[in-house]
Amino acid sequence: MATDNDILIANQGSFVLNNTVAKTTTINAIVVLEDTVFSAIRIAGTDVKATYIAAPATAVKAGTIIRAVNAQQFSGVTLTSGSVLLILA
């Protein structure tokens, strides 16, 4: 399991997602780089977007950091628009 410092410094690397193709990988955190609309945020393959975004059809503002609750990790992300930095696990 990654420590907070491992996550903050992206010890396992990062990936810039800036298209609408689904990215499936283990993700510790999602950093929103520009106003972004998510099509899906998945944990164990299940879309949990509504758990993390109150109005899922509305853009999430640049600078937002999304972390999974209860020490879980995200399993994938799909965007409608925008770009994010995925902090890999």
Check residue 89 and give its pLDDT. 87
Q: For residue range 47-81, what is the model confidence (pLDDT) as tens digits?
A: 999 999 999 999 999 999 999 999 899 999 999 99
Q: How far is it, in rounded angstroms, from Cα 83 to Cα 2? A: 24
Query: Which among 3, 1, 33 is positioned nearest to 15, based on CA atoms?
Result: 33
Q: What is the pTM of this model?
A: 0.89
Q: For residue range 12-34, what is the model confidence (pLDDT) as tens digits?
A: 789 999 999 999 999 999 999 99
What is the span of the domain harbouring residue 61?
4-88
Check residue 6 and give its pLDDT. 60
Split into its structural domains, the chain has a count of: 1
- The pLDDT-based confidence of 2 (bands split at 50, 70, 90) is low
Cα 68 to Cα 6, 19, 48, 53, 71, distances in angstroms: 15, 22, 10, 12, 7
